[in-house]
Chains A and B, each alone.
Chain A
């Protein structure tokens, strides 16, 4: 499995190497790759349906417990098939769609990489690894949305989606780490085994909420749904692949994955369905009032994602089953509809549903395929969508807790779905042809391959649902924990579910009829909507970002004022206060040291040092100050010598010399010495300096008192010659025992000197 991912990675980069002549075959090559990967994984079906799990672990950094760990079980099998199969169709479609655009290599690069990342995501056994792929899909989604990067709307939408999903990704990571800290492992298998411990742990709720934030942002749940319609700025193959069939389903996948770990608790069955219901209703309601074909589809996608989240949240066997079926239902019809929408866009040059019409004569095949997909969306037999909807109703009827409310809202949402399906069909295909039709030549067939295959699947699985149930059973077993036979059939007899279905379709048709008869109704509805639901989440988001920027700008101005003297003042003051606090608590000034008198020449040296230091502070000329400082420094190096630290003394003398020389050089450039500061600020500085100096003195005195168990210096002295063949202990420590420290110091020196270099140069350039 690792190799397959590597193939995706390698091939995605290889796209740039394809010579110009063969560029037009790029999409075909990738499509073939997708199909062969599909076939490769399909071979595992017998094993998977026996309930086997195929896992693969490759060491990466074993010391850190980081491994590449993959797991192919019923659940990931299902998603792998979905990703590769839809991927195959999308690349065929992209071949037709992307004709004539520049930068197609870049486009296929992103899209191939995305397929690989998505496969990696669903195959991951290690959850940190899953997170890495999760973020990769977010980043690639960003790059694909902003593919037409010369358009400001694309860039804005891309940024928005990245920001929202990135935020979700971060909280997902935090949640995963919390779970990891409970079980001390990041393997999903371990988590499932320890699910009882996890559920009773106090970190369960925060972890759940953090993970759900990740899921809800990725899968465009309310109130994070706004990025998905924005994402429609992407080329249509991307919309049909990432933003309806696969990437937005990553959140759903994670919910399935974590259901055995986190599911079944009260929190799970309340938080998730509530968000799901709200999303389901908002999405389907808002879809009716959209004018852009792709925006309509985006909102219905949001609604479908809401349904999936709701079903997983209800967390009964039947609801999980319904969720799986609906996953396929939606992937089939929505990918097909997006592809058709792109086709219509190319053909007519517009996506505004009010300016479309009469396309039944222009694209008869498109009409047939479109109506199949739309019927599936509306849940009309014999499409797979009908079975899906029946199951969903059944799940809702049987759902514990707030089943009744969920059912009513679900029916309402489905009625909207029926209406929008009928509206789309009538607006696009019937009535007058209003726009200029372009001839696209040979490509037209290629445009329709994907939708035709998907529509056939919608019908085929609708008529023979048992074919599908074979594939879903193993996945269901993974999620719910026990095996069950799935019987799928069209029509469950005349029970309440059937009547609900009938009611849904009939009310949808009635409302549609009314809308058709009184055309103003739809427009009034739209204007009513824009008045009542005037809160545009996307705008709200932009406003939030803008004000956050303002906030941090002001903040930065306050703290980073740019006055060097105050920075130093702050640092020293803060250190002094902290140190004095500590000294005060430990009564640090009490010391029982015995003071012994040193030889006269040392005492005299110290007197000279003190006098020159004082002179430094009060001197009226810079040159005098520098010379006095030099005296202090040389004096200190003599003290080193007295204590036989020759190395230190030499270094100190040379550094002192250099410092004096450099200072003198700098002096030439400075204006004449003058006292510009007021007496008050000078007094303040003196107080701070005294406080800091005295606390440092106390620290130095204290340092003599400290008794460690055994000074490490003894070790160095003993082993310097034995182990490092050197008699100069200082040097041996520098270059051998603690060479890593020296490496760090040398690097710091380099950076500092480069900093000085750049500072001085850049200032000169300004002048």
Chain B
């Protein structure tokens, strides 16, 4: 596919989708969104980009490859378990950083957020792995 309209629009779409994905991830705790939706949005941005240009090129440009995304996500998920173990709480018990600053009031930071970020990366990795293995011939 070599459509200039798609290529140009995907450039802007790319940025918007990525911002939206992070936004969805962070706001997920209180309003619709979350790691899963965010991950899907982020992978959509990559997919549109590779449809506009060529998947091989985009895969080459990705600094973190899909499988590494998966690994990163799973590692984060597992890391989010450790604090609960250290605190002698049941496994995966949520541990929060408490504070009164305005930032901490709007974004709650704790192991569930870390967990959600892990899900975010895993979903990106999984979707992209599907996508690229369907598309790229070696």
Contacts and interface: CB of A to CB of B under 8 A. Distances in A.
Interface of A: 646-647, 650-651, 654-655, 657-658, 661-662, 665-666, 724-728, 730-732, 734-736, 739-740, 742-743, 746-747, 749-750, 752-754, 756-757, 760-761, 764
B74 interface: yes
A647 B130 contact: no
28 contacts: A647-B33, A650-B33, A657-B44, A658-B43, A658-B44, A658-B127, A662-B130, A724-B94, A724-B112, A725-B29, A727-B31, A728-B30, A731-B29, A731-B34, A734-B119, A736-B115, A739-B92, A740-B91, A740-B92, A743-B77, A746-B74, A746-B119, A746-B123, A753-B129, A753-B130, A757-B129, A757-B133, A760-B133
Contacts of A646: 32
B131 interface: yes
A730 B108 CA distance: 16
A263 B123 CA distance: 62
Given A742-B119, A750-B70, A665 B94 contact: no
A650 B41 CA distance: 10
Contacts of B126: 749-750, 752-753
B40 A655 contact: yes
B96 A725 contact: yes
B61 interface: no
Contacts of B94: 724, 736
Contact of B129 (A657, A732, A742, A754): A754
B74 A747 contact: yes
B122 A749 contact: yes
B32 A764 contact: no
Nearest to A754: B129
B62 interface: no
Contacts of A654: 37, 40-41, 44
A734 B116 CA distance: 9
Given A728-B34, A735-B112, A665 B135 contact: yes
Question: Top 9 A-B pairs ranked by shortest CB distance?
Answer: A646-B32, A727-B30, A753-B126, A726-B29, A735-B112, A731-B34, A654-B40, A753-B129, A760-B133
A647 B28 CA distance: 9
B59 to A, nearest CB: 13
Contacts of A661: 47, 51
A761 B73 contact: no
Contacts of A756: 129-130, 133-134
A661 B131 CA distance: 9
B137 interface: yes
Contacts of A750: 70, 74, 122, 125-126
A591 B113 CA distance: 44
A735 B119 contact: yes
Contacts of A736: 94, 112, 115
Nearest to B39: A654
Nearest to B135: A665
